Amino acid sequence: MVNAQKTILNDQGIIPIYQQGKAQLVKSNVKGLTYFPTGANWDFSTAYISK
């Protein structure tokens, strides 16, 4: 029984129990802006301002 418990403890997966969140405000006339939740957060390569 002890060996079974050690095997389960060693082979168990890791499940994240926390995910960061933060509010992002973007003006309504800004278009083409892409947000990535991981890595570099913003991609401005296709962004433009509409009238």
Domain ranges in the chain?
25-50
Judged by phi (left if over 0) then psi (alpha if -120 to 50, else beta), residue 27 lies in beta
Phi and psi for 15 in degrees, rounded to 5? -115, 120
Q: What is the pLDDT of residues 15-29, one digit of tens each?
A: 778 877 777 888 999
Tokens of 3: 């060996």
How many residues would you count in the chain? 51
The three-state secondary structure class of 44 is coil
Does residue 13 register a pLDDT over 80? no
The whole-model pTM stands at 0.49
